[in-house]
Amino acid sequence: METLSKEAERDPELDRLIDAVTKAEAKKGSVVIDGLLTAWMTLNMDTVKIFLTAPEKIRMQRISKRDNLPFSEARRVTLLREESEKSRFKKYYNFDLDDYSIYDLVINTSLLSVDSNLKVLKTLIKECLNTKNRRM
């Protein structure tokens, strides 16, 4: 991951390719797209923008477990990657990744179980679809 971040810092082409695919998929409609810049790339589209987060310690524990890394290593590589992303996306697009105002919903996933978080997400999406269908 470190190598990929360093390469992306030197050449914006990979980020731009991912962004183009994200926009194309979003235009198809009725899709769920997971990605750091997805909300930014679909800013002017009729989409529901959701940001899932958790406190740093919880995030690092989850990454450590997922990637089978010691906590300290998971923290080190994650913070490096995040700093690279923040810097790149500010430079390439003038996006502030710490600006959550573009999201319709921000969820701290550490507050609820996975099932409860899914329930919240499903309810939001269902209600958004119902509202959209009533407007048509």
Number of domain units in the chain: 1
Domain of 103, in residue numbers: 2-135
- The predicted model scores a pTM of 0.83
What is the β-pairing status of strands 50-53 and 105-108? parallel
Q: What is the CATH number of the domain that holds 90?
A: 3.40.50.300
pLDDT value at position 135?
A: 64
Residue of 45, 54, 49 lying closest to 35 (CA atoms): 49
Tens digits of pLDDT across the chain (136 residues): 556 667 777 777 888 888 899 999 999 988 889 988 999 999 989 889 999 999 999 999 999 999 999 999 999 999 999 999 999 999 989 999 999 999 999 999 999 999 999 999 999 999 988 887 666 5
